[in-house]
């Protein structure tokens, strides 16, 4: 154990801990959660067992246990020791309780009418209010009762139906459980629902349009244009076009709203030319697409602009001078000198931005929020709307995790591919001090 090795491990420790806690663990948990039906309704910790009306319905329809369902669904009355003791404590005459215990203990009645008929038939002839009180004490209806464990549920049900089969127990537990459970339903749903295809198409269109038009295309225009102007204005333009990137997204999108809103700048200016004011952001899905691509594109363009600019700066000036002497036009310089030199930067920006566009959604969330009518809902935003925030308040964590898992897998695969592509191994040099 040499000193640099020990020091190295200590100094790496914080980074390793953060990576495990906030990268490796969430990746694994995304996969785990995607096989559950967690939602706002089931909660994220364990649940309880409840015989709600829909439980009864599921028992009948899904498990074909109509008989059991009927028994559980009806109010039912059992003459048991618990009820008798409660009656004694509430001051009902001892002779009534005694007769009930002697002659009727253990009897079950499917309805209030039947148990009350039995009570009226007792020797002491209880008064009507007494009959009501007695029957109420024997009510063992389980409708909407909640139980903390399966055993408590079975014990309560067996008071009504003493001979529960193993099969019935299993069905009962499954149908009445309110917590989350394991399932592969999320993936089946993802493949079958038409929303998936639509969201996927939106995502591809959004990534392709933004990437080609702005993140590389417009970025290249800016880099080339600032290359051909004197240094001082070039610097000013680069700073100006960097502004969208350094502006916090909430403010940046706010400025777009000011521009495109129905009472905004664009409407006011066009009003002078006889165009009726309208919402240029959400007025139609074509409007929304233009704005979404512009908003993301102008932010993305700045990165390409800076990378391409510095790559152009690295080209030997003599090439430009020589071609200028030969009478080359600008587009000839661009075509034959600059672009061939920019192959790697272009590839880098394309790769990098593909992944980041695929997974980023904050600008769309803040501007159109997927609208109008879901026409700009991309995959990453759909995850947000499914699992993290929506108007209905019904958050489906499990399904959202399954959708996120798709992006996580794409992210891992593409990052590994990029690692090979850009040959980062060459960047590792051996330390010169060995100990």
Partner 1 sequence: MTGNLRSWPVVLALSLLSAPLVVMYAYLVIDTVTNSPAGSFVPNELTLEHWSFLWDTPRGRPNIWRVTLNSLIFASSSCLIVLVVSSTAGYVLSRLNVPGRSFFLAGVMVLHAFPAITLIVAIFLVLQMVGLYNSLIGVILVKAAIDMPLGIWIMKGFYDTVPWEIEMAGIQDGASRFRVWRSLVLPQVGPGMLALGLFSFLLAWSEFVLPQVLAPGNRVQVLSVYLASLIADDNNFDMALFKSVGLFYIAPVLILFAIFQRYLMNIYGGGTKG
Residue 5 as a binder of partner 1 (CB under 8 A): the answer is yes
Kindly tell me which residue out of 108, 226, 287, 375 binds partner 1, with binding defined by CB under 8 A. Answer: 226
Cα 173 to Cα 181: distance, rounded to the nearest angstrom: 12
Rounded CA-CA distance 320/315 in Å is 9
CA 77/CA 131 separation, integer angstroms? 13
Only segment of 76-84, 95-103, 124-132, 425-433 that touches partner 1 (CB under 8 A)? 425-433
Which of residues 100 and 383 has its CB atom nearest to partner 1 in the complex? 383
Phi then psi for 374, rounded to 5 degrees? 75, 10
Q: Which residues pair with 49 in a beta bridge?
A: 147, 177
Minimum Å gap between C-beta 321 and partner 1 is: 7
**Choices 10-18, 48-56, 64-72, 115-123 (CB under 8 A): range interacting with partner 1:** 10-18
**Left if phi > 0, otherwise alpha if psi is -120 to 50, otherwise beta: which for 38?**
beta
Distance of CA 189 to the CA centre of its chain: 15
Beta carbon nearer to partner 1, 53 or 233: 233
Which residue in the block uniquely carries the two structure tokens 């510095």? 310
Tell me the number of residues near partner 1 by CB under 8 A: 111
Query: If binding is defined by CB under 8 A, does position 247 make contact with partner 1?
Result: yes
Q: Does 381 bind partner 1 (CB under 8 A)?
A: no
Stretch that binds partner 1, among 74-82, 101-109, 206-214, 292-300 (CB under 8 A): 292-300
Provide the minimum distance between the beta carbon of 323 and partner 1 in the complex, in angstroms, as a whole number: 8
308 neighbors 219 (Cβ within 8 angstroms): yes
Binding to partner 1 by residue 172, rule CB under 8 A?
A: no
**Part in contact with partner 1 (CB under 8 A); list of ranges 48-56, 93-101, 128-136, 218-226:** 218-226
Q: What is the CA radius of gyration of the chain?
A: 36
Residues 6+ apart with CB under 8 A from 82: none
Residues 145-164 that bind partner 1 (CB under 8 A): none
Quick check: 339 binds partner 1 (CB under 8 A)?
Answer: no
Other beta carbons less than 10 A from residue 204's beta carbon: 13
Binding of residue 103 to partner 1 (CB under 8 A)? no
Helix (H) or strand (E) holding 146: strand 146-147
**Which of 122, 174, 254, 270 lies at the binding interface for partner 1 (CB under 8 A)?**
254
Question: What does the block give as tokens for 226?
Answer: 């600032």
> Is 170 a residue that touches partner 1 (CB under 8 A)?
no
The tokens describing 62, both together, are 């899904």
Near partner 1 in 392-411, by CB under 8 A: 397, 400-401, 404, 407-408, 411
Q: Which is nearer to partner 1, 289 or 422 (CB)?
A: 422
* E strands, 6-111, in order: 49-50, 77-78, 108-109
Quote the least distance from Cβ 246 to partner 1, whole Å: 6
Cis peptide before 372 (omega within 30 of 0): yes
Place of tokens 């661009």: 334
274 contributes a contact to partner 1 by CB under 8 A: no
Show the site string, 353-372: x = touches partner 1 by CB under 8 A, - = not.
--xx-xxxxx--xx------
Span 39-58, contacts to partner 1 by CB under 8 A: 44-45
Residue 427 binds to partner 1 (criterion: CB under 8 A)? yes
Contact between 132 and 31 under an 8 Å Cβ cutoff? The reply is no
Of 359, 413, 400, nearest to 207 by C-alpha is: 359
Among 352, 370, 376, 378, binds partner 1 (CB under 8 A): 352
Q: How far apart are CA 312 and CA 229, in angstroms?
A: 13
Verify binding: residue 387, partner 1, rule CB under 8 A.
Answer: yes
* 305-334 residues near partner 1, rule: CB under 8 A: 306-307, 310, 320-321, 324-325, 327, 330, 333
Contact pick of 49, 214, 256, 280 for partner 1 (by CB under 8 A): 256
């Amino acid at each position: 154990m040499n000193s640099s090795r020990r020091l190295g491990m200590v100094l790496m420790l914080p980074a390793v801990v953060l990576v495990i806690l906030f990268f490796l663990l969430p990746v694994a948990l995304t996969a785990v959660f995607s096989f559950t039906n967690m939602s706002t309704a089931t909660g994220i910790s364990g649940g309880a067992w409840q015989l709600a009306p829909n439980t009864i319905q599921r028992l009948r329809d899904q498990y074909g246990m109509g008989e059991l369902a009927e028994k559980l669904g009806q109010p039912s009355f059992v003459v048991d020791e618990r009820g008798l003791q409660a009656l004694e404590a509430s001051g009902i005459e001892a002779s009534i309780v005694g007769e009930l215990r002697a002659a009727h203990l253990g009897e079950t009645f499917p309805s209030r009418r039947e148990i009350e008929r039995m009570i009226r038939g007792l020797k002491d002839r209880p008064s009507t209010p007494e009959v009501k009180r007695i029957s109420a004490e024997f009510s063992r209806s389980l409708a909407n009762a909640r139980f903390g464990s399966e055993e408590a549920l079975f014990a309560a049900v067996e008071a009504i139906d003493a001979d529960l089969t193993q099969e019935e127990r299993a069905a009962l537990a499954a149908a009445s459980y309110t917590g989350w459970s394991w399932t592969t339903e999320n993936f089946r749903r993802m493949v079958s629902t038409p929303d998936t295809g639509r969201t996927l198409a939106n995502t591809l269109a959004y990534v392709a349009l933004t990437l080609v038009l702005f993140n590389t295309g417009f970025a290249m225009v800016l880099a080339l244009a600032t290359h051909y102007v004197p240094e001082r204005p070039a610097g000013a333009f680069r700073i100006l076009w960097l502004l969208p990137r350094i502006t916090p997204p909430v403010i940046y999108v706010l400025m777009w709203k000011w521009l495109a809103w129905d009472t905004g700048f664009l409407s006011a200016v066009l009003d002078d030319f006889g165009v009726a004011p309208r919402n240029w952001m959400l007025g139609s899905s074509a409007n929304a697409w233009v704005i979404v691509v512009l908003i993301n594109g102008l932010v993305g363009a700045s990165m390409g602009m800076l990378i391409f600019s510095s790559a152009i700066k690295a080209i030997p000036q003599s090439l430009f001078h020589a071609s200028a002497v030969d009478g080359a036009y600008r587009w000839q310089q661009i075509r034959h000198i600059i672009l061939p030199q920019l192959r790697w930067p272009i590839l880098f920006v394309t790769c990098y931005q593909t992944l980041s566009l695929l997974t980023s959604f904050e600008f769309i969330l803040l501007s159109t929020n997927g609208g109008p009518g879901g026409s700009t809902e991309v995959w990453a935003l759909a995850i947000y709307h499914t699992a993290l925030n929506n108007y209905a308040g019904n958050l489906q964590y499990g399904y959202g995790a399954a959708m996120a898992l798709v992006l996580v897998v794409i992210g891992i695969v593409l990052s590994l591919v990029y690692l090979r592509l850009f040959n980062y191994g060459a960047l590792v040099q051996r330390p010169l001090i060995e100990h």
